[in-house]
Every structure is written in structure tokens, then in C-alpha cells.
Amino acid sequence: MPPPIRSPIQLPNRTPTNSSFSLAPPPTHNSIPTKPRKKVLLTPGHSPLDWARLSSSPTANLRGLPPDTPYLRVPPSLLKQMTGRKGKDAWTVLGGKVYNISPYVPYHPGGEPELMRAAGRDGTRLFGEVHPWVNWEGMLEGCLVGIAVEEAEVGRESSLEEMD
């Protein structure tokens, strides 16, 4: 059976059939990104939804500290020790807060090496460059270890504590 014959009548708000219409992306979108995203295949049970379930569980200890430990004041010297190597947890600073990122490693869509680039240091700028749209405070809330402070502030109590 032959294909149906198309009418030469143009429909309103439609591209004319004789124009150079193409499904190719517009010229502004045809360049290759400077750094393509590198997603890795996650193991079963390690999807973003699995992480959300784990991080919202009241029994999960994602901080890597005893449950009754108050938030810590973390100086750069302590942060540099927490690199995720030699059996230690990996800590990073994001927006002045220190997070234990070790529990999140198997859930990270970019893989372990990409996440570990921020271990033991301030990862705020790196995080902002790679995915500025992600809300790390909500995602890593259960992993909060404390706040980043300067070396000189370690032994000192905060002014709020002095008021008591």
C-alpha cells in the first residue's frame, strides 16, 4: 500500500516543509563541554533514594563519632589528618561546616576518586564548580561533625559559651 499523500497546505505556527529544518541542536549547543560529566555505575542499594533513606534514619550514625559527642571545633591540622586513608574517616569542609563524607562514598554518582578530592581539606570551591545546584546541607546533615575554626580558636570557648 502506498504512503498517504500529504497536503501542501501549511498549518499555522508550523515550520514550512521547504525550509532548512533540522533536529540538530542549535549552533550555540553544538560544542563539546569542557569537562564532561563522569558518572559511575553504582552498586545495587546505593542510589540517591537509598542515601536519602539511610541519612534520614534515626538509628544511622553517619558522623563516625560516638552518638553523644557534641559538635567539634575542627582546626586545619585535624582536618588534614582525616583524609580517608589508613583506616581514618574522610572529612571535608563545605561552607564552614565539617562533614564526614566516608559514609557517602559508595553513593556518590561521580565515584570515590572524585569525592575524595575534597577529603582532608576545604572542598567548598571544588563543590561549587562541579555541582553548584546541590544542597549539601540537606544531603549531608547526618554527617555533620562540627565547624571549621582556625588553629588559634581551638582551645578558646565561643563568646556565647562565655556568657553562661
Predicted pLDDT of residue 2: 74
The total of other beta-carbon atoms located within 10 Å of residue 112's CB is: 13
pLDDT for the residue 116 = 94
CA 5 to chain CA centroid, nearest Å:
54
Give the pLDDT score at 139. Answer: 93
- CATH dotted code for 38-153: 3.10.120.10
Q: What is the pLDDT of residue 160?
A: 45
pLDDT of 42 reads 81
The per-residue pLDDT for 3 is 72
How far lies 43's CA from each of 40, 75, 102, 145, in Å? 9, 35, 16, 27
Q: What is the pLDDT of residue 1?
A: 72
Which stretch of DSSP H or E encloses residue 49? helix 48-55
Backbone φ, ψ for residue 123 (5° rounding):
-105, 10
What is the Cα–Cα distance from 129 to 123, expressed in whole angstroms?
10
Q: Residues 91, 79: contact at Cβ < 8 Å? A: yes
d(C-alpha 138, C-alpha 73), whole Å: 21
Q: What is the pLDDT along the chain (164 residues), one digit of tens a residue?
A: 777 766 666 655 555 555 555 666 555 545 555 666 667 788 889 999 999 999 999 999 999 999 899 999 999 999 999 999 999 999 999 999 999 999 999 999 888 999 999 999 999 999 988 888 889 899 999 999 999 999 888 766 554 455 44
* Nearest Cα residue to 74 out of 140, 123, 141, 147: 147
Closest to 39 (Cα-Cα) out of 112, 99, 100 = 112
